Amino acid sequence: MGDAENAARYLSAAAEPGRGGDPAGFRRDVAEISTRWRRNSDFDSFSLGQLILESVSRGAQYRMFFPVEMVLMVKALVTFEGVGQMLLPGFNVAEVSKKHVRSVFVQQFSPVRLAQEGLRGAPDLVDALVKMPLLITEGLRVIEKTAKRSNENPLAGLRGTLIAGFSLVAGAIIMGFVGPQAWMLYVPFFVIALILAVRKGE
């Protein structure tokens, strides 16, 4: 029943490799155990519980850690197989489970169910399609604004500010050296600074 290589791959995917873990070695050993079980899969020689326990025990050897839920599932399967053998000798869990697993897969992936799931999501899909042109337009508008903003010179207004600051400082220095009586020397600098400041604020 099943494919040993794929079974090993799926079991490896369910585990979390720890520090120094060896997923490849784990898959190799699990595939070998699964192959042995397929050759002689009966309760007395090599039970399903033994297959699962040996496979999971290899996880500790290769530092592969399984979720708690999976460990509980293994315990349930081993108990199920043991009780089944007590009540019905020769009980084969794998064979009995086949039809139930197949039924679950058919229900899960049936075209009717997929169509129903698609119909449930149809209103959201229609709403998204209706809003899509508006979203595209808004997106293009944002991109256009960003492109225009990036083309502007960020230092465009800096020159006037520097000149105004220079004029203010120069006027203050001149006034400090020559005194208030020589106002004709420093007042023009203050006027220039004032004009540039007013123009900057407009």
Q: What is the pLDDT of residues 83-120, one digit of tens each?
A: 888 888 877 777 777 777 788 777 777 777 767 776 67
CA 80, 4, 63, 77: dihedral to nearest 10 degrees? 0
- Cα 46 to Cα 65: distance, rounded to the nearest angstrom: 24
Q: Hey, is 153 helix, strand or coil?
A: coil
191 vs 22, residue with greater confidence: 22
What does the mean pLDDT of the chain come to?
A: 75
* Residue whose token pair is 């898959």: 27
Integer distance in angstroms from the first to the last C-alpha of the chain?
84
Angle at 123 between CA 119 and CA 124, to 5 degrees: 110
